[in-house]
Structure 1
């Protein structure tokens, strides 16, 4: 990941909307709109959830049971949800729609050949991440048999401030992003997570100078990551490419050059795509 093995990124649980009147979901704006309720239903599912019961959907969303039941039925007809004997699960229609996202498709097409070469050269876990809000979003991950499976996943998220990919993104983004990250607080995920704004700022200055970010056990003890920026055009950052490995196995002298080469290759491929 940005570094580390991406830990199943902390999922954002949507605050309950209890005590909000339910006028039938006809209000086009605000908490009671059909669209808002649909969003709450879909986002109630975390990466760890296979099936959620009707009661659990009501609890997580705070929306009235009758509304959840009605909307879930419509989402099943659309294919966004699927009905099981234990409740509801996310449907294949969401996966199908997700594959149409132009930016992700272009990035994956450009990145995959170089990620595969990097995987073969290093035999360590390779991630490609982009910026979304105050987090990195992992759009691709390649892993060898012995690689990292628990901490990271495609479509997983981690904070910008404590991942190698996130540090790259912070280093090459406008200053207000750093200020907002600091304002939200630098929460430690391990005893080695950097929580000092001053230390983080110094790290980012070094990343800008070396075009290389290193994260050591800030996400998961025993693992470290190294990342480089990827640009679609000079000065236009599109994401970060990283290697993650057990700390005892990470060889920066050997891996650094291969990582830089892969990052430059992806940048050139994106530029050639226009």
Structure 2
């Protein structure tokens, strides 16, 4: 029987049978377990093994290699995402045309409404998640528990609702779907006393757009009426036209 060739690993010899694809998939699985706020204080080797369901020896070897590459940081027994990932993430966002186009419009929208502005896009094979690309919010920013680079299930968020609407998605309530298509925005409000409310508009056509803007605020500050919905629509339309190669004329002033 002919031996299978070994594939070199950075920082050490190869394990027989490891292919580049398999290695990348394993590294991706390990990095994915650090999503979510519960990983902010760091995860132990046992935590990562349990969450990833990969062999302990493989996980330990990958974590230590990632530490050497600055993709991970180890403090005592706990691992956290490293600064190199932050650098790469910032580069990816700064090189993204959507983000570059949207950012100045988001600042203008926040100045007009004084509410938290999100830029998000739908992600996942079935549009399962919303990925937050940026967040601007002034004094209210800490009151809305979202984070740049974080994910949330699309269902249940204003960003997700406005991006799933008009597609015949079975997860959408038909009446709510029709209302969003008719109005061009989606609203989601928390019933909790200290919850928050959001309204979102698509960057592009309802049923086709993959990115959206939202305005959010704690319920005690929420004022999601036409005075803020109109600037939101204008902002989303401005970004959409710019991305389509059309120079937007002096767009309407976003005064709330």
Q: Secondary structure at the match of 1:155?
A: coil
* Mapping for residues 1-274 of structure 1, pairs under 5 Å: 24=15, 26-28=17-19, 33-48=22-37, 49=39, 50-101=41-92, 105-133=96-124, 134-172=128-166, 174-175=167-168, 178-179=169-170, 182=171, 200-217=173-190, 222-231=195-204, 236-248=208-220, 249-272=222-245
C-alpha separation between the residues in 2 aligned to 1:164 and 1:40? 28
Following TM superposition, by how much is the alpha carbon of 1:140 offset from its aligned partner in structure 2, in angstroms?
0.9
Q: Is the 8 A contact 2:121 2:131 kept in 1?
A: yes
User: CA contact under 8 A between 1:81 and 1:90: conserved in structure 2?
Assistant: yes
Kindly tell me: are residues 96 and 246 of structure 1, through their superposed partners in 2, closer, same or farther at Cα, counting changes over 3 Å? closer
CA contact (8 A) 2:163 2:207 kept: no
Change (3 A) 1:262 1:219: farther
When residues 112 and 219 of structure 1 are mapped into structure 2, their CA distance, relative to the original with a 3 A threshold, is: farther
Which one has the largest radius of gyration? 2
CA drift of 1:225 comes to 1.0
Return the TM-score normalized by structure 1.
0.72
Asked if the contact 1:104–1:139 (Cα under 8 Å) also holds between the matched residues in 2, the reply is no
CA apart distance, 1:103: 9.2
- Which runs of 5 or more structure 2 residues have no equivalent in the other structure? 1-14, 248-256
Across the two proteins, how many residue pairs are aligned to each other?
A: 228
Deviations 1:206-263 (A, max 9, x none): 21122111112279863211111102x8985131111112334324121111111111
**Aligned partners of 2:136 and 2:231: how far apart in 1?**
15
Match of 1:8 in 2: none
Q: Shift of the alpha carbon at 1:108?
A: 1.3
Q: Alpha carbon RMSD of aligned pairs, Å?
A: 3.0
Give the CA deviation at 1:137.
1.2
TM-score when normalising by structure 2: 0.77
Deviant stretches of 4+, over 4 Å: 218-221, 233-236
Q: Are 2:143 and 2:217, in contact at CA under 8 Å, matched by a contact in 1?
A: no
Q: In structure 1, the residue corresponding to 2:209 is in which secondary structure? A: strand
Unaligned runs of 5+ in 1: 1-23, 183-196
Separation in structure 1 between the aligned mates of residue 51 and residue 163 of structure 2, nearest angstrom: 32
Q: The residue matched to 1:42 in structure 2 has which SS? A: helix
CA 160–60 in structure 1, closer or farther in 2 if over 3 Å, else same: closer
